[in-house]
Amino acid sequence: MVMNCARTVAWLVLFLGISLTSHGDSLAAEPPPARAEYPTLDSFFFLYQPYLGNISAYQPIYFLVGTNPAKSKFQFSFRYRFFNPKGPLALDHPWVNGLHFGYTQTSFWDLKSDSAPFEDTSYKPEIFHLSRNFVSGGSSPQGFFIQTGLRHESNGQTGDESRSTNSLYVRPILIFYGKNSRLGLQISPRFWVYVDNSGSNDDLPDYRGYFELEAKAGQADSLVAGGVLRWAKEGGSVQLDLTYPISKYLSDNLAIYLHAQYVNTFAESLLNYRERTDALRLGVSFIR
């Protein structure tokens, strides 16, 4: 009887082993599940947005909280190229590739008050042309561009708080860049004339002037320092920015920048353009 039980167990083990081996072979032979042709929602979205490549970053995008929370600030910006660079018009006349619509919105947020109101917002649509690089070959500087445009700026208010201005400007952009060191320097003065100021801010040129000098310097994947200097009849203005990629501390996982900004300036906002703003702000930026 013991021998019969042993034979039964042996046959059962052998049967199970063959069955499991055959089942494993059949699983190994099965192809992996097919990957979806449209794996994300964006893959469908892009089908109906063939011009999406025409949208790009423009001015810095950031959210900054003031050391005095009443002086907090955020900004977003984009630009849109009008013409398809592969279209027949652009191929015959390459200069049209430089025609853009730009939009920048800067909001001043009082986070100190109970209701956290927006003190003022500047809406800045513009039409501009950005030239191709005038520098060719390996000469220095590595980049020289000229941007010209017509900018409107207003704060969207009515009555006594309404402010608006229009300006024609030219902005040469000079860039030095070391490919090996990844160190760069950008110098870009901007000159403008006022086309029309509303009656409520017809003395804006006395506070904002007609000229500013912007400079940025730093390493492409590290610290970048920037500054804007402006002079007007009522005095000078300055804005200083420092940005550093936060991914340096998080193993390249989080794609944002730490951002510190100091301003001592007239006409940072249109509403209170006659008042000097003195503020230190800390936060994050997505485009610097």
Domains of the chain, residue spans: 1-29, 38-287
Give the tokens for residue 76. Answer: 């977003």
Q: How far apart are CA 192 and CA 212, in angstroms?
A: 9
Answer whether residue 23 shows pLDDT above 90: no
- For 192, what's the count of Cα atoms within 13 Å in the CB-facing half-sphere? 27
Judge whether residue 96 has pLDDT over 60. yes
* DSSP element (H, E) containing 88: helix 88-92
Q: Tens digit of pLDDT for each residue in 49-94?
A: 999 999 999 999 999 999 999 999 999 999 999 999 999 999 999 9
Q: Residues 232-257: pLDDT tens digits?
A: 999 999 999 999 999 888 888 899 99
Residue 30 has pLDDT above 80, yes or no: no
Q: What is the CATH number of domain 38-287?
A: 2.40.230.10
Give the integer Cα–Cα distance in Å for 225 and 288.
10
pLDDT, residue 20, reads: 44
Strand partners, 229: 213, 238
Sign for the pseudo-dihedral over CA of 103, 106, 227, 196: positive
Placement of tokens 């409520």 in the chain: 200
Tell me if 186 sits within 8 A of 213, measured CB to CB.
Answer: no
Strands (E), the chain: 55-56, 61-66, 72-81, 99-109, 118-130, 143-154, 164-177, 183-197, 211-219, 224-232, 235-245, 257-266, 276-287
Say what the pLDDT of residue 90 is.
Answer: 93
Residue 278 CB-half CA count within 13 A: 2
**Region of poorest pLDDT, from 10-24, 58-72, 78-92, 159-173:** 10-24
Mean pLDDT of the chain: 90
Banded model confidence at residue 29, pLDDT cuts 50, 70, 90: low
Tell me the β-bridge partners of 127. Answer: 101, 150
CB 126 within 8 A of CB 152: yes
Lowest-confidence pick of 22-31, 41-50, 133-142, 205-214: 22-31
Cα angle: 82, vertex 86, 89; to 5 degrees? 65
Among residues of the chain, what percentage have pLDDT more than 90? Answer: 80
Specify the 3-state DSSP secondary structure of 29: helix
The closest of 116, 119, 105, 111 to 64, measured between CA atoms, is 111
pLDDT the model gives residue 139: 79
